Amino acid sequence: MRTQTSLRDVSLNLGLPKPLEMMSDEEILRKVVIGKVFTRTLKSLTTSFLDEDFDWLLPVIFSKSTDPLWPDPGSSIEKRIETEIYGETVRTTLSMIVHKMVACSLAYPKLFTLSPNVRVEKRERKSTGWHAYEFSQLDFEVRGASSSAIRSLVERVVIKLVEDLRKGCEAELTQLGQYDVLKIPKSPFKVFDREELEKEYGGSWETLLPKVIKEPVWVVNIPREFYDFEEVTGRWDNYDLIVPKYGEVLSGAKREWEYNKILKKIERDGIRKENFSLLLKLSKEGRLKQTAGAGIGVERIVTWIVGANHIGEVQPFPKIPGIVNEL
């Protein structure tokens, strides 16, 4: 068995993640160890949501309607993938937010899914270590929930995850040099307001905050897409979960459900209404309900857990912005 120091050193010497066929035996061994932690992470996360009485849905890959990722200042998309199916233009899933809102309103009061997301990030993001052009989210939504209820749920899930990994993956985390680093967070997590962070750190708060925190924290009130709830004061009822050293691993919000507000925000942001015609129709008919939820970046949370230098290290087939491997 490799020592804690040797597998950590492998990570430090990797540079940009390589495809499997180009890895050394030591690098593949580290990949295998990370894979065991990844498997335990998926088991813990999905079990937690099942224990909370959520329905587990299968994901959507192509759709006429998907997340616009606009005007979120954090988005950086080089192109959007579109194709034609049966004479109709469809897009790859950027996130399942629209599907979650509809499914939660009409059929499943508490739902989650492991959803592939394709976001062709700008090439310069390959060196951030935190972006991939294909990744998965554990997306979930709850009918009638408040933001505080969702944050409490997430805190329970994250705390249980760390407890499960420290118990079930002690050997693997020790090999990766993370067992003594990964501490069980204390609830409730600290909450920061984005406006206050901007006063303290300026526009770079998203990169500076992870460097000074020691445990996961919440950031609230972040200007984002039309479906996040915006109060009449201009304050946003949404939240991001930020982890030390790395950054955002979860984004979520209470959702807009009233027709006039949704329509006004879509028009304000210059978004094509025809891409969200069903959402608008359901809202106008009063069938869209108030929901709240979030999406957990699965690869991101594993990157934080194992202490990887790049998110591509936790993917069997790295999807690094600007780099297209054969597999």
Contact by Cβ (8 Å): 37, 93? no
Kindly report, residue by residue over 12-54, the tens digit of the pLDDT: 566 899 999 999 999 999 999 999 999 999 999 999 999 999 9
What's the pLDDT at 13?
61
* 138 domain-assigned: yes
Locus of tokens 């939504």: 141
Domain of residue 304, residue span:
4-314
* 319 domain-assigned: no
Amino acid, single-letter form, for residue 274: E
- Cβ within 8 Å of residue 200, ≥6 positions away: none
Rounded to whole angstroms, how far apart are CA atoms 240 and 118? 20
Rounded to whole angstroms, how far apart are CA atoms 245 and 216? 10
- Count structural domains, the chain: 1
Low-confidence ranges of the chain (pLDDT < 50): 1-3, 5
Nearest to 120, CA basis, from 319, 298, 311:
319
* 162 domain-assigned: yes
* 322 domain-assigned: no
* 327 domain-assigned: no
What's the pLDDT at 287?
98
Angle (CA) 135-139-143 rounded to 5° is 165
Amino acid, single-letter form, for residue 126: K
- What's the CATH code of the domain at 275? 3.30.930.10
Residues, the chain, total?
A: 327
* 324 domain-assigned: no
* 325 domain-assigned: no
Q: Enter the tokens of residue 322.
A: 């600007």
Q: For residue 304, which phi and psi values (nearest 5 degrees)?
A: -65, -45
* 14 domain-assigned: yes
